[in-house]
Chains A and B, each alone.
Chain A
């Protein structure tokens, strides 16, 4: 009896398995995922499914058209992301179910097709017509200085260039170049104005002029452009920030060097070499050199005064003055140089110490050596006299 029950159960199980297998082959629902670009179409049996438009990436809305050969079905429907949409009663009932699984961008989306296997195998057919002109504006923005090194007082021109490098019109363009930098005064054209609308490929630029007023190294902040595409999608882009250097105001800076290499013997002559060099960044002009000697008598100096029209930055002028010592002593020669250094008259000084020697008594040392030699010789003689 029990054996019979087992047998019956076994037969039932076998039959159930058979039945399942049979239905699998015929009306089993299956699915397949496709990535579609706009215009791409999937054919499945008599069904044709085409991605018409990505209506909104943000809202997750995709428009698809589903039709059936013969015209019994032709429907264009907006599909919401992740919600199944049945056509012809859906897959369960021999129709199809379409679900938008993912929206990649304004051009493409991932779509899942559910269907009964008897309908066949779905195939993707890429769009034959060129992809419809996309409405995807993209603005590049650039901010540039006409020099990246300048000195206080220099004028600098800033150019803002905005170009639509995308497709479709950019609307409501706004360039914000703020805040104003404290190292500059804004002379003209600020804040910069850019056209509100730029078609694809179009560009616009604005120029403004500033004046550097403070030295230092400055990080120039990015300029931000904000805009929207035709669908009012707001977008923005900014330029790269960069560094500039503002050097101190360029000026002439004269350094004066006086050199007298050897002391002067009494009633002898000497030479004082004078070198005026411009260590500054601007030309020095109207240079007048004149000197004084302290104490004023005893050392005669000629050729100390001189004038030059201009000394270029980095350049120098050299000349020499004649010295003649008339009285022994230490003298100080002070050279005063006045010049126009770029903003007004400047005075620089240089000094040199000059020694006029006492008269030299060349053979003076003999006065010492001779007596010592005589004494030594004398004492040696005496020593010899008593040495036995």
Chain B
């Protein structure tokens, strides 16, 4: 049995964590009542903890127990200022780590955060370092959410810097989710968030469940670590559940890699470094030969592909996890961020100059009364 720690940091991280808890209650509307009589049903021993400097963000949660919400008191919050956020983390490090330590030992930790906010983006790199220090053998996976591009230059800048830090820390890898990419799911922001959060939650739970199951083909935490270590150590996940009209396992695998089912725009054929395909379904639907053939076909373009098969009654479900060797989308974010920062800098010096010119008018004058 795996010991899993799930940390949601900042508003975005908190809400995805809440979606995970909701999913553990069965998801959907039923979860609203289920929390009154059920315990969240996790495949493994899962501990969740929502960390935030904004108490209102914590209050907003519905499916995370009160004791799993930790408020890190900071005088004025952090704004979107990552430096203030870092300071706040360092000031409260012992308390935060103490709260985690209380929850026991862990094999794997997921740190879920947005890259562009203040709290999550600044806490997460530091938090990962602390986790690595505190738990020798822990595998840490960052789940990082990229902003909508139109959210402003400050968010882009935060995303750029925090991504760099996240890539530099000693974590096993980053799973990217791009709000911009998934924005097409819904018209309004709130329901787009819900949709995105649910997608992430579902994939993560499926992943945990699979890693903790007896698989026909050997795929375990070690394999997962190997996949996450590949390429840029940046990856994403795809998921597909076959519908009753088409139960073909081959189609299901292909569908799980299609852009619509990915959290981040990546081309498996061109960009993938390593991949892992986890297939779940009724035994009679799982044609091992076909799976093997499909996996081999994938390996031709995507380097090494691990496959895991979990026999469980139901229509075939496929989760694909892969890391990429190149991330063009990320590059464009950096370019955009840099442009934004450049513009900002220019604007500032222009403004400074204008002000200096204005001051020039009174340069040799004294105040007269």
A interface residues with partner B (beta carbon < 8 Å): 378-379, 382-388
**Which residues of chain B in 172-229 are interfacial with respect to chain A, using CB atoms and an 8 Å cutoff?**
none
Q: Interface centre among A378, A382, A388, by most B CB within 10 Å?
A: A388
B129, CB-defined interface residue at 8 Å: no
**In this complex, what residue of A is CB-closest to B21?**
A386
B359, CB-defined interface residue at 8 Å: no
Instruction: Please name all residues of chain B whose beta carbon is closer than 8 Å to the beta carbon of A382 when the two chains form the complex.
Output: 35-37
A382-B35, A384-B66, A386-B35 known; 4 other A-B pairs, CB under 8 Å? A383-B36, A385-B65, A386-B63, A386-B66
- The docked-state distance in angstroms from the alpha carbon of A387 to that of B60 is 10
A-B contact pairs, 24 of them (CB 8 A): A378-B36, A378-B37, A379-B36, A379-B37, A382-B35, A382-B36, A382-B37, A383-B36, A384-B66, A385-B65, A385-B66, A385-B67, A386-B35, A386-B62, A386-B63, A386-B64, A386-B65, A386-B66, A387-B66, A388-B58, A388-B59, A388-B61, A388-B66, A388-B69
- The docked-state distance in angstroms from the alpha carbon of A211 to that of B180 is 122
A-B complex: 4 closest residue pairs judged by Cβ atoms: A388-B66, A382-B36, A379-B36, A385-B65
**Which residues of chain B in 11-58 are interfacial with respect to chain A, using CB atoms and an 8 Å cutoff?**
35-37, 58
Count A/B pairs, Cβ under 8 Å. 24
Instruction: Please name all residues of chain A whose beta carbon is closer than 8 Å to the beta carbon of B69 when the two chains form the complex.
Output: 388
- The docked-state distance in angstroms from the alpha carbon of A349 to that of B89 is 97
- The docked-state distance in angstroms from the alpha carbon of A378 to that of B38 is 11
Instruction: Please name all residues of chain B whose beta carbon is closer than 8 Å to the beta carbon of A383 when the two chains form the complex.
Output: 36
Query: How far in angstroms is the closest Cβ of chain B from A63?
Result: 136
Query: How far in angstroms is the closest Cβ of chain B from A381?
Result: 9
Query: How far in angstroms is the closest Cβ of chain B from A378?
Result: 7
- The docked-state distance in angstroms from the alpha carbon of A383 to that of B65 is 9
Instruction: Please name all residues of chain B whose beta carbon is closer than 8 Å to the beta carbon of A385 when the two chains form the complex.
Output: 65-67
Instruction: Please name all residues of chain B whose beta carbon is closer than 8 Å to the beta carbon of A378 when the two chains form the complex.
Output: 36-37
Query: How far in angstroms is the closest Cβ of chain A from B329?
Result: 36
**In this complex, what residue of A is CB-closest to B63?**
A386
- The docked-state distance in angstroms from the alpha carbon of A13 to that of B58 is 157
- The docked-state distance in angstroms from the alpha carbon of A287 to that of B231 is 117
- The docked-state distance in angstroms from the alpha carbon of A388 to that of B14 is 13
- The docked-state distance in angstroms from the alpha carbon of A388 to that of B35 is 15
Query: How far in angstroms is the closest Cβ of chain A from B40?
Result: 11
- The docked-state distance in angstroms from the alpha carbon of A385 to that of B35 is 10
Instruction: Please name all residues of chain A whose beta carbon is closer than 8 Å to the beta carbon of B65 when the two chains form the complex.
Output: 385-386
- The docked-state distance in angstroms from the alpha carbon of A387 to that of B68 is 11
